[in-house]
Amino acid sequence: DADVTQTPRNRITKTGKRIMLECSQTKGHDRMYWYRQDPGLGLQLIYYSFDVKDINKGEISDGYSVSRQAQAKFSLSLESAIPNQTALYFCATSDFKGDRVGGELFFGEGSRLTVL
C-alpha cells in the first residue's frame, strides 16, 4: 500500500461546485503539504501544515482552503471551483527537522482535477 494516499485520483467537476481532495499518510510525519502542478510551471505550494494545530498559506492559497483533521490526514478544498484550477494536485509529507536529508518530501500519486 502507498505511504501517501490521495483520493480521488481523477475528478471532473463544474464551475462553482465545491470539491474536496483528501490525503492520508502512514509515514507518521508531522509535516504535510498540498502542491499544484501545471505544465511548464513546476510545482507551486498551496498550503502546508507542520502539525495538527499549524496551518500555513503557501504561494498560491487564494481560492483554496485546508483542514488538518489528524496527524495522518490533510484535505484540500475548493469552495467554488473555477476552470483555471484545473491541474494536477499533489499531497506530500516530510519529517524535516533540518537534518542532512531534510528536504525529502514523500509524494502521493496525484489527483487530477478538471473544472469545466
Partner 1 sequence: GEDVEQSLFLSVREGDSSVINCTYTDSSSTYLYWYKQEPGAGLQLLTYIFSNMDMKQDQRLTVLLNKKDKHLSLRIADTQTGDSAIYFCAEIYGANNLFFGTGTRLTVIP
Measured in degrees and rounded to the nearest 5, phi and psi for residue 59 equal -70, -30
Of 88, 85, 78, the closest CA to residue 17 belongs to 78
- Cβ proximity to partner 1, 14 vs 27, nearer residue: 27
Q: Are the CB atoms for 116 and 13 separated by under 8 Å?
A: yes
- Cβ proximity to partner 1, 47 vs 85, nearer residue: 47
Can you tell me which of 12, 41, 82, 116 binds partner 1, judged by CB under 8 A? 41
Instruction: Give the interface segment with partner 1, choosing from 15-23, 50-58, 62-70, 78-86 (CB under 8 A).
Output: 50-58
Radius of gyration of the chain (CA): 14
For partner 1 (CB under 8 A), the number of binding residues is 26
